[in-house]
Structures are given as C-alpha cells and as structure tokens.
Amino acid sequence: MCVEVVEQNSLTKEQKEAVGLLSIGTFLEYFDLMLYVHMAVLLNELFFPKTDPFTASLLSAFAFCSSYLLRPVGSVIFGYIGDKIGRKASLIISTLLMSCSCLIIGILPTYAQIGITASWVITLCRMIQGMAASAESTGAEIYITESIKGKKKYPLVALITIFSAVGTSAALGICTLLTSESFSNTIPFAWRIAFFVGMVVGIVGTVARTSLKEASDYVNKQKSLKTKLSANKVDVQDKLNTAILEEGPSYLVSIAYFFVHCARPPCFYFIYIYCGDILKHQFLVKPAQILQQNFYVSIIDLLGLLSLAYLSTVIHPLKILRGKLILFFLSVTSFPIAIDLYPQTTTVLIYQCLAALFVFDQIPATPIFYKYFPILKRFTYTSVISTFASMITYLVTSFGFVITTKYFGYGGIFIILIPVGICFWFSVNYFQKLEEKGEEILDQKQNFASV
C-alpha cells in the first residue's frame, strides 16, 4: 500500500519551469491531434468515397477510431522508453511524431486525385498520431505526479488536461476560421494551412521539451535500487531488468483503473462526433457551422476543467468524480425527449454544453490512481491499460452509437453510457476504499510514533 506522507507547500523554480514546459507541450500536441478529429466532418468528404448517410456515419466512426487502433502498440513502445530510458525521452519522441503526421496530411492529395490510396494514407497518419498521443498526457501527468508532493499535484496534473483542452479549442478556432466561406473562397484548400501550422507547433513543442530534467521520483527510485544491489555485489543491470519485469500492481487495481478510463470515450464521442453527425445529417448543417458550434462547446469544456482544478484544492478528487457522474446523467437523460420535441440545432448545443461541463472521467483524481502503480513500471502499466480501455470503448461507442440509435432512436446511446457509468462508479469506490485504508495506516504510524 502506497501512503503519501509528504506535503509540499510551494513549488521550486525548477518545478514551475517543468509544469510550464509540460503544459505548453501538451497544448501544442493536442492542437495537432485535434485538428483532424474536429475537421473530420470536412476531411472525410475529401479523403473517403461519397456514400449514403448511414454508411457515411460508419466511415466517420472508422476514421475516428483509426487513431485509437495502434494506441496500445504505442503505449507498449513509449511505456518501455518511459520506464527504461526516461519520461523526458518519450515526451520528445511523441511530439515529433505528431508533427510529422501533420505535415503528411497537409500535403496529401484527396480521394478525387489518387483514389483509395488517400483514404489509407490519412488513416495511417491518424494511427501514428494515436500512437504518439498514447505517451503524451500519460507522460506529462506522471512527470508531475513524480516531481511534486502532496495535494498540490491534483490541480497541477489537472492543468495538463486544461492545456489539452486549450489546444483543442485553439485547433477548433483555426479550423473554424480556415473553413469559413470568406476564407475558403479566397484560398482554395485553406484547411491545409491548419496542418502546416500543426507541423510547426509540433516542432516548437519538441524543442521546448529538450530542456526538461527527469522526474525526481523516477530518478530517486532507480538510484536507490542500484545502490542496494551494488552494496550486495549483484549485477546491477541484469537484476534491475528482472526487478522491473517482476514488479506490478494488483489485478483489482488494474481492472478498476481500466474501467475508470472507459468513461471519457463515450462522453467525448457524444459531445463532438455523435452530435456533429446529428447536425450534419438531420439538420443539414454545413461542416464549417458544425466546427463553429463545437468551438463554443470546447470553451464550456475548458471552463469545466478550470472549475475542477480549483475544486480539487478544497474537495477530495474522488468525491468530485462521483459528483460528475451523477450530474452528467442528470443532464443528458432528457436528451432523447428534448431532441424529439424541439428538433433544433440549439437543443443539440445545449446538451453538448451540459455533457462537456459534467463529463465523467479521471480528472482531477489522476495522481491518486498513479500512486498505486510501481514507479519503475508506472508508465508502461498505466499507458497500456488506459490505451486499451480507450481503444475498446471508442470502438464500441463509435459503431455502437450508430447502430443502437438506428434501431432504438436517440435513447440508444444509453445502452452504452449506462454500463460504462456503473463500472466507473464501482471503480471509483474501490480506489476510495484504498485511500481510506492508506489513511488508517498513516494514523497508526503517527500514533505509534507519538507513544
């Protein structure tokens, strides 16, 4: 059982610089990642064959899921790099990959020019971006978790997610501008500029992260293990490899962590992709207008994250997670009825905003989950589990929403949302029990020390 006893009152200059670099780097990388996600309503028309609305929704789901298919592979690769070489190396490589994929998308000919090759190449680029993204947020969050002690890490780790949301909003803002009629009429294929900007942004992020120092907990753990082994005249490198391979979390911790990370995918898909398809196919809204509406929603999402970061300083993060889950379902339960009674784009916008404000996921309790994984395997275990959870849930959600709503109407979304919500609730409660046991152990140690 991991019990945290150190409380840090203020950040050192080095820690402040690290948080700043990680936040900026996350902003830059998510700007690149979200360019395609939110421009999919436009790019799918350019890089995939034209079909009927139902098939188009399936193609949209496939294009969206493609970025998650190789994430587990990326998590293994970057997890190995992060645990064996260092957190810093994985962050730099992932940012560089994101930049390269943006360049390829920016210069790629369309389906009308080279046929199905365009579809395969852009799908491959999305997969590469997915691999890179598997290391991004995990690496940055673990870095802060291992570098800062006490409750201050809750809002600071949440800050990484906040800057990813800022990157998302910035990407949406650029997409909205470049796909507007006034801009696109002046500059043909103006959307390509966004990806060239993304390439430059990725390069800047790569360079910025080269000045990072390694996470303190990770370095201290390695030094401590090597010192002990050397004192006993044991082959340090061979024994270190064995120790790393043998060390791992309990099965229940891994399962609970898996279900916690199953929560965000259906929420995100509902907010930005599913509602976008409704606007496009039911209300015949143009892609540029959908992007503009999603931009407004992303601002609400950002405000919600800022609120969570503040609340984590006064309310226990696990209590916040349970509250978000309840508020999310209270908000979206009436969606099927409302969209039938008031079939307007404003209705869709209202529910997008409500879902974005109360989306249930691991924020701001991420550092609590990380501490139940061993330091020298933390990157690998957490990234592999979270990426598998995201991949499976996004696959189920993407195609499931299309199929369930076809046969059960708008209420079909709850066939996926309710089971995910139940698993999330029990998983959070499991970690709450671990925390309570940890507090009991800490109290016992303090009482013993005072005797």
DSSP, residue by residue, 24-76 = HHHHHHHHHHHHHHHHHHHHHHHHS----HHHHHHHHHHHHHHHHHTHHHHHH
How is the chain split into domains, by residue range? 14-218+232-450
pLDDT of residue 314: 93
Amino acid making up residue 113: Q
Whole-number Å distance between alpha carbons of 351 and 289: 17
> Which of helix, strand or coil describes residue 447?
helix
Whole-number Å distance between alpha carbons of 197 and 102: 9
Whole-number Å distance between alpha carbons of 373 and 45: 44
Whole-number Å distance between alpha carbons of 445 and 451: 10
Q: Are 129 and 33 in contact (CB under 8 A)?
A: yes
DSSP, residue by residue, 133-182 = HHHHHHHHHHHHHHHS-GGGHHHHHHHHHHHHHHHHHHHHHHHHHHTSHH
pLDDT of residue 345: 94
pLDDT of residue 238: 57
Tokens of 7: 């409380």
Burial of 315 (0-12, 13-18, 19+ CB in 10 A): middle
Q: Spell out the residues 6+ positions from residue 287 whose beta carbon is closer than 8 angstroms to its own.
A: 39, 41, 42, 45, 179, 280
Does a cis peptide bond (omega within 30 degrees of 0) precede residue 364?
yes
Q: Are 432 and 318 in contact (CB under 8 A)?
A: yes
Whole-number Å distance between alpha carbons of 260 and 329: 16
pLDDT of residue 448: 47
Q: Would you say how long the chain is, in residues?
A: 451
Q: Which CATH superfamily is domain 14-218+232-450 in?
A: MFS general substrate transporter like domains (1.20.1250.20)
pLDDT in tens, the chain (451 residues): 454 555 666 778 888 878 887 887 778 777 777 777 767 667 777 887 777 667 666 666 666 666 667 777 778 888 888 777 877 788 788 878 888 888 888 888 988 888 888 888 888 888 887 777 767 778 888 888 888 888 888 999 998 889 888 888 888 787 777 777 666 666 667 778 878 887 887 787 777 777 777 666 777 776 766 666 666 655 555 555 555 545 668 899 999 999 999 999 999 899 988 998 899 888 999 877 888 898 899 899 999 999 999 999 999 999 999 999 999 999 999 999 999 999 999 999 999 999 999 999 999 999 999 999 988 888 889 988 998 898 899 889 988 988 898 899 999 999 999 999 999 999 999 999 999 987 665 455 455 444 4
SS3 content of the chain, % helix, strand, coil (to 5): 85, 0, 15
